[in-house]
Structure 1
């Protein structure tokens, strides 16, 4: 079991409030991702759950038991950090086994746990190597293996892929998702990368200035954003926003259209503009179009589209795919 409940949790550092007031329920076995811009409080919130920071007010429960004042080691949670924090003089086997050795577990239990974790993470052939002999992805797997052997109620990941290159990030993203499917253990994962959030999570918590803007499944957040902040943060490339007379036609202070929901044509459209930049990515082409009165709008089209710099094009939103927001930025 690994349910986590936060009730009116607050955190201040001196006179600065980082988490004003957060309540959240994470169900047993869920993969929940905290996402948001730098400084939004996502890592602080994870550290509060882990017990590495003390809450200023409120309550944190694990499996229904109040753990607010409990020491980190007693919470039965395992944390994986951005830095691998491996012992360079120890082998992979020694690094994975370290938490159990500290608990003075029997050798048979340690060996069985290490071999099991190594098998799950495809590290069996590397158990006698030192960390310096491993790639970045393999080192991160060792750090995860060290967390697995503790058999925690939940895994807490703090931007674990930030130090990896783009290809390794994709590979490790898949491996962590597969690991969750194998272990069925609660995972709470912090990232600033909304693509990681969308592809890995059962539920996403979008944070902004220490507040939860929305909590829901990836498709819920994509299809029904609660406000302009969520609409602009979830989705890549980000949503186009238009204010003024065009928005007023829709009975809104501002409207939003995702790049993939804008059709582009050489004839007239809802908006007319000039192509400033054309990004060819193979499968997709992103056109950045300068629209008078609306600024630069981005459209996502198929990879074989051949619009060029300086060309005048028409942009038309797909019916039913225009999002409306009021003056406070809330979805209408």
Structure 2
């Protein structure tokens, strides 16, 4: 079991309240991603769950048990950090086996668990190497292996891919998702990268200034953001926002249209000049200066539009989002 429940959890550093009281339910076997800009409190919240920070108020229940005052080792959770935190003088086998050795397990049991973790993570060929002989992605897999052998109730990942290059990030993202499908264990994953959140999560928790702005599946947040912040944070490229008289036409203080929901053609609603045209093969990203400001458009890869061209843009009204003066979705 790996059910985690936060009730009125608060964190203060001195007089500064970095996490106002919040409630959150994480179900057994879910892949939950905490996402938000730097300084929003996502890593602090993860550390509160892990027991690495003391809560200032509220309770943390793990499988129905009050774990608020328990030490990290008592909670049955395993954490994977941004820094791999491997012992450089130890082999892969010894690094993975270290927590089991500290728990005084028998050698036969340790070997069986380590061999199983190495097989799951495709590390069997590197089992006798040291961390210095491995790539960044392989080192991160060793760190995950050290967590797997403990058979935790939940895995806690604190921006584990931040130190990897773009190609390795994609590969490790797929491997962690596959690992979740194999183990069926609760995973809580912290990232500032909303693409990681959208592609990996069963449930996303969007945070801002320590507050939960919205909780839902990736598509729920994409299709029905509750406010302007979530609308602007989820989706890549970001949503376009237009106010003034144009928004008033739709009885809103501001309207939002995603770049992929704007058509480019010889006629349309908004005229503009292309300031930047990014041709990526599968897609073309256009930055168009219009009477409503700069509009970002995601068009087909074969669109024949270039810097300096005049174009007409037409938003898909069925996909338009409307917001009031406080930024709440209408």
Number of aligned residues: 330
Counterpart of 1:320 in 2: which secondary structure? helix
Match of 1:303 among 301, 306, 309: 301
For residue 319 of structure 1, report the CA deviation from its aligned partner: 3.1
Q: Which residue of 1 aligns with 2:245?
A: 245
Where has structure 1 moved over 2 Å in runs of 4 or more? none
The whole-number CA distance in structure 2 between the counterparts of 1:237 and 1:211 is 24
- Gap runs ≥5 in structure 2: none
State the partner residue of 1:24.
24
With 46-55 and 12-21 compared, the bigger mean Cα shift is at: 12-21
3-state DSSP class of the match of 2:82?
coil
Equivalent in the alignment of 2:182: 182
Q: Secondary structure at the match of 1:219?
A: helix
Alignment of 1:108-147 (within 5 A): 108-147=108-147
CA distance in 2, matches of 1:269, 1:119: 56
The equivalent residue for 2:316 is 318
What CA deviation, in whole Å up to 9, does each residue of 1:150-169 have, x standing for no partner?
A: 00000000000000000000
Instruction: Give the equivalent residue in structure 2 for 1:328.
Output: 326
Measure the CA separation in 1 of the matches of 2:312 and 2:60: 53
User: Which runs of structure 2 are paired with 1:149-168 in the superposition (5 Å)?
Assistant: 149-168=149-168
**Rounded Cα–Cα distance in structure 2 between residues aligned with 1:306 and 1:286:** 12
- SS for the counterpart of 1:252 is coil
Deviates more, 1:315-324 or 1:164-173: 315-324
What is the aligned partner in structure 2 of residue 263 from structure 1?
263
Secondary structure at the aligned position of 2:2 is classed as coil
Which ranges of structure 1 fall in alignment gaps of 5 or more residues? Answer: none
Secondary structure at 1:245 match in 2: helix
Please give the per-residue CA displacement for 1:177-212, whole angstroms capped at 9, x wherever unaligned.
000000000000000000000000000000000000
SS in 1 for 2:219: helix
TM-score (norm 2): 0.99
Offset, 1:318? 1.3
In structure 2, what is the equivalent of residue 84 of structure 1? 84
How far apart, CA to CA, are the structure 2 residues paired with 1:131 and 1:155?
22
Task: Tell me the distance in 2 between the aligned counterparts of 1:152 and 1:255.
Answer: 45
Write the mapping of 1:51-66 to structure 2, written as runs, cut at 5 A: 51-66=51-66
User: Aligned equivalents of 1:268 and 1:128: distance in 2?
Assistant: 65
Q: Secondary structure of the equivalent of 2:241?
A: strand
Instruction: Provide the residue aligned with 1:272 in structure 2.
Output: 271
Q: What is the CA–CA distance in structure 2 between the aligned matches of 1:170 and 1:281, rounded to whole Å?
A: 18
Offset from partner CA, 1:84-111 (integer Å, 9 cap, x none): 0000000000000000001111111100
Partner of 1:218: 218
What do residues 242-296 of structure 1 show as CA deviations (whole Å, max 9, x unaligned)?
A: 000000110000000000000011x22111111000011110000000011x210
